[in-house]
Amino acid sequence: MELMEGKKTSCKKLLTFMLFSFIFSFCLCVSFRQFKTSKPEHNSSHPFAKIAPAENTSTPPKSKHELTILLWTWPFGKRFNFRSCSELYSTPDCQFTVNRSWYHKANAVIVHHRDASRNTKGLAQATRIPSQRWIWFNLESPSHSPNLGAMDNLFNLTMSYRRDSDIFSPYGELQLLGQPQPFSIPPKAKLVAWVVSNWQANSHRVKYYQELKQHIAVDVYGQHHQALARDQLLTIMAQYKFYLAFENSQHEDYITEKVWRNALSAGTVPVVLGPPRENYERFLPPDAFIHIDDFASARDLARYLQELSEDAKRYERYFQWRQWLKPVAASGWDTHLCRACQFLQTMGARYQVVPKLSEWFV
């Protein structure tokens, strides 16, 4: 009996010792791992610790993955607020600046064509860092882009409304809805509207309008015509059944805010004059617009618009595509810059030279 009690006591002591040894070993292991994987405090708090000392304030502060992008000039001299691009894309933010003292620290330089075309010497004399991207940025058509030849052999990336640009930055786009949504056509009491600021009497679009107005009433807004405040544009245009989205020139992919904002965002049907119908259909459903090329004359177009305005069911067909697609117009310069940021974050390793920009952009 005493032997049995002795064995029980020994077993208890053994189990207690084993449990204590396990706990001690576990704690020792955890402590060792923490000591081994911990890093010096200054390395984690200062992202430039291996590049520059913390007191070097000339280096623009940024996060580990943040790129610095220099905007060479404000587009058309118009200032705006840079935005946080991570709000638009699931990529890290970029740090934008117009301060040229950061030129040699910038990962990329964005050059707006119209402004740079007036002083190409200063641009050509700038010394580019081999790893630095120079981005040619232009939203104007070739007809309104002077001095293109001076831009040859200067850039390695292009950003424009052209689909074959390195950074495709259109005036608008369609967003696919997660599920079909009913679209209510705004009440319409008027027929045809046109907003035009650059009135050129000898241009194709003005000549076409002059012929069209002989067969159907067209309300014209803009310089030398009816006044229209910018904040009233969508509200006024929504009252019309048709909008003349006539481009100032006809070039590949040149489909501007006249379609995306003035017409589609307002909830009216655009009547387009620009590139061929096939080009528009790369951006829009075929029944989202009316193309003047589909009619033998302005008179035939006027007759069609008049008939369509009087047939509610036929008119509603031009809105059926909106159940699945939502038109979104580019909201400002900052949106375009964020496209460049997103491209550089995801495709930054790409590199090329544009030897003949003047031959490509036609």
Provide the CB-side half-sphere exposure for 322 (13 A, CA): 18
Digitized pLDDT (tens) for each residue of the chain, 362 residues in all = 433 444 344 444 444 444 444 444 444 343 333 333 333 222 222 222 222 222 223 344 444 458 999 999 999 999 999 989 998 888 899 999 999 999 999 999 999 999 998 877 777 677 778 889 999 999 999 999 999 998 888 898 999 999 999 999 999 999 999 999 999 999 999 999 999 988 999 999 999 999 999 999 999 999 889 999 989 999 999 999 999 999 999 999 999 999 999 999 999 999 999 999 999 999 999 999 999 999 999 999 999 999 999 999 999 999 999 999 999 999 899 999 999 999 999 886 666 677 888 899 99
pLDDT at 38: 32
CA distances from 43 to 8, 32, 33, 54, 225 (A): 56, 21, 19, 10, 64
Contact 329, 234 (CB under 8 A): no
Predicted model pTM: 0.80
Whether residues 181 and 320 share a domain: the answer is yes
Specify if 16 maps to a domain.
no
- Full residue range of the structural domain in which residue 116 is found: 67-169+334-360
Whether residues 323 and 216 share a domain: the answer is yes
pLDDT at 81: 93
Whether residues 202 and 217 share a domain: the answer is yes
Specify if 116 maps to a domain.
yes
pLDDT at 198: 87
Whether residues 178 and 322 share a domain: the answer is yes
Specify if 143 maps to a domain.
yes
Q: Is 127 exposed, middle or buried (0-12, 13-18, 19+ CB in 10 A)?
A: exposed
Q: Give CA–CA dist 3/118, Å, rounded.
A: 106
Contact 99, 71 (CB under 8 A): no
Whether residues 231 and 249 share a domain: the answer is yes
Specify if 203 maps to a domain.
yes
CB atoms within 10 A of CB 71: 23
**Hey, what's the torsion of the CAs at 118, 122, 127, 130, to 10 degrees?**
-10
CATH code: domain of residue 253? 3.40.50.11660
Whether residues 297 and 338 share a domain: the answer is no
Whether residues 298 and 210 share a domain: the answer is yes
Specify if 349 maps to a domain.
yes
Specify if 60 maps to a domain.
no
pLDDT at 351: 61
Give the residue among 81, 144, 127 at the shortest CA–CA distance from 331: 81
Q: Is 34 exposed, middle or buried (0-12, 13-18, 19+ CB in 10 A)?
A: exposed
Whether residues 159 and 178 share a domain: the answer is no
3-state secondary structure of 200: coil
Whether residues 103 and 151 share a domain: the answer is yes
Catalytic residues: 140
Contact 296, 277 (CB under 8 A): no
* Tally of structural domains, the chain: 2
CA distances from 16 to 19, 26, 61 (A): 5, 16, 57
Whether residues 181 and 314 share a domain: the answer is yes
Whether residues 108 and 151 share a domain: the answer is yes
Whether residues 106 and 193 share a domain: the answer is no
Q: DSSP string of 283-301?
A: TS-TTS-EEGGGSSSHHHH
Specify if 93 maps to a domain.
yes
Contact 143, 249 (CB under 8 A): yes
Q: Give CA–CA dist 105/56, Å, rounded.
A: 13
Task: For residue 219, give every residue at least 6 positions away whose Cβ sits within 8 Å of its Cβ, in sequence order, or none.
Answer: 190, 192, 193, 194, 226, 240
